[in-house]
Amino acid sequence: MASPSPAWHALLAPLPPNATPTRRRIGPERSSPDAPDSAIAGWSELVLDLSVGHTGSRVIQVVLDPTDRPLAASDMVYFRPVPADRPDSQHRQESIGGRFEEDGSFRGTCWIGTATGPAEDERLQWDLTPSQPIEEQVAALRRLVTSVMAREQSA
């Protein structure tokens, strides 16, 4: 019998104590104003790629402008079925993602997806259901962004 997923494996849950994000550059450091990539010059992302072994994974991404202001964020949790190789294995994915507007509002979408089949099947047919995030979800995402940024600064 599989052990239950840790609490931090749930969407928008607090992070485990040892989780440290990786910073990656998205755009060039500098760009001329007429270059095709000038709109994202200096942008970077903080990524936390968490795994709970055979039961699933969680990926958190925060996109930052050159001043380290959060522009967008997402949290995605994928639950692997156990055992994953059976034709009737149930897969589940939950996510929230979107952008932070200059006026402080959030524009994004929540998704819940389910699929049935073996994990190795690249042709899994996902049933995806979108919804608008509620205030509590947006507040939790903002707390998550703050936590990810603080962990990167203290690393």
> Considering the chain, what is the average pLDDT of its residues?
86
Q: What is the dihedral of CA 11, 16, 20, 26, to 10 degrees?
A: 0
Check residue 1 and give its pLDDT.
33
| Structural domains in the chain (count) | 1
Residue 13 resides in a domain? no
Residue 43 resides in a domain? yes
Residue 141 resides in a domain? yes
CB of 19 closer than 8 Å to CB of 51: no
Say yes or no to pLDDT of 2 above 50: no
Q: Which domain holds residue 92?
A: 20-28+37-154
Q: Please, what is the Cα angle at 60 between 59 and 61, to 5 degrees?
A: 120
Number of C-alpha atoms within 13 angstroms, CB side, residue 49? 4
Say which residues have a Cβ less than 8 Å from residue 29's Cβ, sequence separation at least 6: 41, 42
Predicted TM-score of the model (pTM):
0.84
Residue 12 resides in a domain? no
CB of 17 closer than 8 Å to CB of 2: no
Q: pLDDT confidence of 34, banded at 50, 70, 90?
A: low
More confident residue, 31 or 139: 139
